[in-house]
Amino acid sequence: MDLGSISEILLNLINEMTVMVTVIAILVSSLNNFKELVVERKFTYKNQIIMMVIFGAFSIFGSYSGTKLDSGAIANLRDTGPLIAGLIGGPIVGLGAGLIGGIARYFGGGFTALPCSIATISAGIIGGLVYNYNNREFLGPQKSTIIAVLVEIYHMGLTLILAKPYSEALEVVKIVALPMILSNAMAVAIFSVIIGSLIQDKMKIKELEDNLAIISSNEEEKI
């Protein structure tokens, strides 16, 4: 195991994570569709499709801006987009984002294409199921981070089971496991903090708007 290579991959993924999380946070916070879906829980076709496309696109970005190994495997942040999509939008949004990222990865080729694409699709589904289990509430940073770690461990397990030859799969996992687990978990943790803050702010604004509407209605009745 080359510790130098592992450290280099981790640093590259952290740099990638910083860019990706910042852009996603700015993008979704500026969209009314995000407010309607996450805060008001208006699950319209339009809202869900927009969130699928956004997080699916970032899944593709997380894949192909990753670090490519000599074996053709890619150390990446691909699972982060679908997982977050599921955690904030439920199984349908998570599955949609996962399919976008997963299918793109499958056609990217390589001996890890199948397990990696399955893992990415699974990440979105898992995030969505957790969202439903949590009564359609955002899970919060700590628990979301734990889920991200478990998803990446599952990803590594799928690679060992499905990628052939096993000896090459094992070498890939030895190199990418730690960087991918840490970087994906960090990405989800940071994004969760940002999203949690945005949700609270938007809920306060909504509550203020509702109160103002009630006051305005009462004033009209007095007139």
State how far the alpha carbon of 131 is from the alpha carbons of 56, 63, 155, in Å.
Answer: 18, 24, 20
**pLDDT of the residue at 221:** 63
**What's the pLDDT at 69?**
85
- Its domain, for residue 49, covers 3-222
Q: Per-residue confidence at 222, pLDDT binned at 50, 70, 90?
A: low
Which has more confidence, 103 or 209? 103
Bridge partners (DSSP) listed for residue 67: 75
pLDDT in tens, 90-128: 999 999 999 999 999 999 888 999 999 999 999 999 999
Confidence of residue 132 (pLDDT cuts 50, 70, 90): very high
State the average pLDDT over residues 200-209: 77
Domain total for the chain?
A: 1
Task: Give pLDDT tens digits for 152-200.
Answer: 999 999 999 999 999 999 999 999 999 999 999 999 999 888 888 877 7
- Model pTM above 0.75: yes
What is the per-residue pLDDT for 164? 92
Can you give the pLDDT at residue 169? 94
The CATH number covering residue 103 comes to 1.10.1760
> How far, in whole angstroms, is CA 150 from its chain's centroid?
13
Share of the chain above pLDDT 70, in %: 96
- Check residue 1 and give its pLDDT: 56
- Closest C-alpha among 172, 167, 56, 44 to residue 113: 172
